[in-house]
Amino acid sequence: MAAIEGTGMNADGLRRDGFLERMKLFGLCSPAILLVLVILVIPAGWLAYVSFLGADGQFSMENYSRMISRKSYMRIFITTFEVSFMTTGICVLIGYPLAYFLSQLPARIANICMITVLLPFWTSLLVRTYAWLVLLQKKGLVNTFAIELGLWDEPIKIVHNMTGTLIGMVHIMLPFLVLPLYASMKAVNRDYMKAASNLGANPVSAFWTIFFPLSTPGLFAGMLIVFVLCLGFYVTPAVLGGGKVIMVSMKIASNIELFVNWGAASALGVVLLVLTIGALWLTSRFVRLEQIVGGGH
Amino acid sequence: MLKWLREPASETQITHGARLWLYIVATVIMILLVAPTLIVVPMSFSDSQYLEFPPETWSTRWYEHYFTSPEWMSATVTSFQAAILTMLVATPIGILAAYGLHTSSMAYIRLVFVLLITPMMVPLILVAIGAFYVFVKVNIVHSLFGLVLAHSLLALPLVVIVTGSALKSYDMNLEMAARSLGAPRWKAFLTVTLPQIRFAAITAALLSFLTSFDEVVVAMFISGGDNATLTRNMFNALRDQIDPTIASISTIMVLVTSLLMILSQLFGRAKGS
């Protein structure tokens, strides 16, 4: 009697054991989850809440309406988008030929050339920004060199403005575009190109009708990741912009450091976060996120 | 050389000569990518206040200034402490989580993965002010403990991704075999699985170290006083004026990074063979 019922009890027991086992394994994630919740998610939730409080502590939309009504805030958003779009655009213009070049090389030479992309990727952001500050200053290498070559007559201002910011940003963002793009180009089946030229396409039209469309997943992924990173960027515009290029992230920092205005800072933070999530959501439609973030390492 | 120009370069029979422009453009870009960082090295040995290149007179005065300055030295010690502790905190937590995600077949596991990699998606400035707010409440602003917590948060996604992808290519049956021979799960993991993914674990540890060592924005908000980091002080010095001491510090930082990069490449090679 007991034996007959035993099969049923065993099944229940196994199911319970299996569940407990899965829970225990899942529990291994708990320190990591706890860290993310306590230091990131809960503060973010609190900031979102504070953004809806007015100066008097009551519910109010004043932090958001200020963004629309005040010209200075609008200008910050325009600057942020300007820098992000320009950086992404320039990165595409110079990153695509580079990635294409790398993808055409034999594996061994490509690996060596890849170091030139990976080395900046690993080098401290601050060091690279500093390097550009030194190179672009009035008596810097770029000015001296250009005057000697006769490109311009006297030192021009190429740092502490938008130009300097863009140069630094493009240098920092380029690897983020090239790495996913390169992976995507390597995945293009070369026989397609052979077939195209066999059917009479000249090299240029074979490239534009076959190769380029097949490389677009990596291109879009790279563009969006660069765009997202630009949106929230702080260090490079702060140093190379010389106070003339004010991005959203810098306004958030100054709202807290100078004015201790958590409401205004939080509202800007919420908008920045929404923009970022929107761009990431777009990205995830083209490519799995872990492929991009894992791409560089 | 001239013959090479007329040779077909790809499947479309385009000649090397016809796309010589591509080779030139790509080479110039590659030089521009690497040169700025490397040019700082000779500049740091310049005697001039203006960091000439090439330096007219050589000197190590900026290095002397760095090594004899109590503030810079204390900041360097803080940075190394924070980076090493971040490595020791983020790596095990991240590996545990990657293992948990890999083996647990719970529903919503993908959501947990997304949650764990959010710190690398969210703009740093938001992580910084969020952490700043919490740390003020519990009074750990300007403490090494708080800095390590925040930097571990930033390093966590890298560890989860790097070790997670190594676990994906690892044959879990090996661990099963160990367990069927009587090893408890934790022992099977430590003696069979972990050695198999050790290269990924080492890479993850190096990345955690670098994440903390290079980080500026979060450190700007939550580090300070006796526990100001090197990058925080560098950033503040950069905003005011071009202090040549920074060139010498930059050179040292490039050296540290390159060393770690070479290390990780060596481990990568070993894995490949």
Confidence band of B271 (pLDDT split at 50, 70, 90): low
Amino acid at A245: V
The answer, for A213 touching chain B at a CB cutoff of 8 Å, is no
| Mean pLDDT computed over A129-145 | 87
Q: What is the pLDDT of residues B202-251, one digit of tens each?
A: 989 999 999 999 999 999 999 988 889 999 999 988 877 777 888 899 99
Residue A202: Cβ within 10 Å count = 12
Report chain A's mean pLDDT, rounded to a whole number. Answer: 87
pLDDT tens per residue across span A215-238: 988 898 899 889 999 999 999 999
Contacts of B234 in chain A (CB under 8 A): 126, 130
Contact status of A240 with chain B (Cβ, < 8 Å): no
pLDDT of residue A296: 37
B211 to chain A: closest CA residue: A124
Q: Do A101 and B117 lie within an 8 Å CB cutoff?
A: no
| B126 → closest Cβ in A125, A206, A273 | A273
User: Mutation test of the interface with chain A: which of B91, B102, B104, choosing the one with the most A Cβ atoms within 10 A?
Assistant: B104
Taking CA–CA distances from A231, the nearest residue in chain B reads B123
Inter-chain touch A190–B112, beta carbons under 8 Å = no
> Which H or E element spans position A5?
helix A2-27
pLDDT tens readout for residues B238-268: 877 777 888 899 999 888 888 887 887 777 6
How many angstroms away from the CA of B120 is the closest CA of chain A? 8
The A residues from 110 to 169 touching B (CB cutoff 8 Å) are: 113, 116-120, 122-135, 137, 139, 141
The shortest CB-CB distance from A133 to any of B158, B216, B242 is to B242
- Smallest Cβ–Cβ distance between A35 and the set B117, B153, B234 belongs to B153
The pLDDT value recorded for residue A3 is 46
Q: Give chain B positions within 8 Å (CB) of A47.
A: 126, 129-130, 133
CA distance A54 to chain B (A): 18
Phi, psi of A79 (to 5 degrees): -60, -45
Q: Which amino acid is at A251?
A: K
pLDDT exceeds 60 at position B174: yes
- CA B224, B226, B230, B233: dihedral to nearest 10 degrees? 50
List b or e across A258-289, with b for residues whose CB sees 16 or more CB atoms inside 10 angstroms.
eeeebbbbbbbbbbbbebbeebbeebeebbeb
Assign A2 a pLDDT band (cuts: 50, 70, 90).
very low
Among B51, B100, B258, select the one facing A29 at the smallest CB separation: B100
pLDDT of residue B126: 94
Give the DSSP letter of residue B189.
I
Question: What's B17's DSSP letter?
Answer: G
Q: Please give the Cα distance from A255 to B31 (Å, whole number).
A: 39
pLDDT of residue A292: 53
Shortest distance, CA B162 to any CA of chain A (angstroms): 7
Give the model's confidence band at A290: pLDDT under 50 very low, under 70 low, under 90 confident, else very high: low
Rounded to whole angstroms, the Cα distance separating B252 from B272 reads 30
Collapse the DSSP code of B4 into the 3-class scheme (helix H, G, I; strand E, B; otherwise coil) and give the result.
helix
> Which residues 13-52 of A are in CB contact (within 8 Å) with B?
22-23, 25-29, 31-33, 35-36, 38-44, 46-47
Whether B38 and B221 have beta carbons less than 8 Å apart is answered as no
Q: Is the peptide bond between B55 and the residue preceding it cis, with omega within 30 degrees of 0? A: no
Domain with CATH 1.10.3720.10 in chain B: 70-272
The count of other CB atoms within 10 Å of the CB of residue B189 is 19
pLDDT of residue A95: 96
CB B40 within 8 A of CB B250: yes
CATH class of B70-272: mainly alpha
- Using pLDDT thresholds of 50, 70 and 90, give the confidence band for residue B272: very low
Q: Do B32 and A42 touch (CB under 8 A)?
A: no
Alpha-carbon distance of A35 to B92, in angstroms, equals 13
Q: Which of A15, A20, A25, A29 to mutate to test the interface with B (most CBs of B within 10 A)?
A: A29
Residues of A in contact with B260 (CB under 8 A): 122
Tell me the per-residue pLDDT of B127-173, one tens digit each, with 9 for 90 and over.
999 999 999 989 999 999 999 999 999 999 999 999 998 998 888 88
User: How far is A57 from chain B, CA to nearest CA, in Å?
Assistant: 17
| Long-range contact pairs involving B14-20 (C-beta distance under 8 Å, separation at least 24) | B14/A203, B18/A203
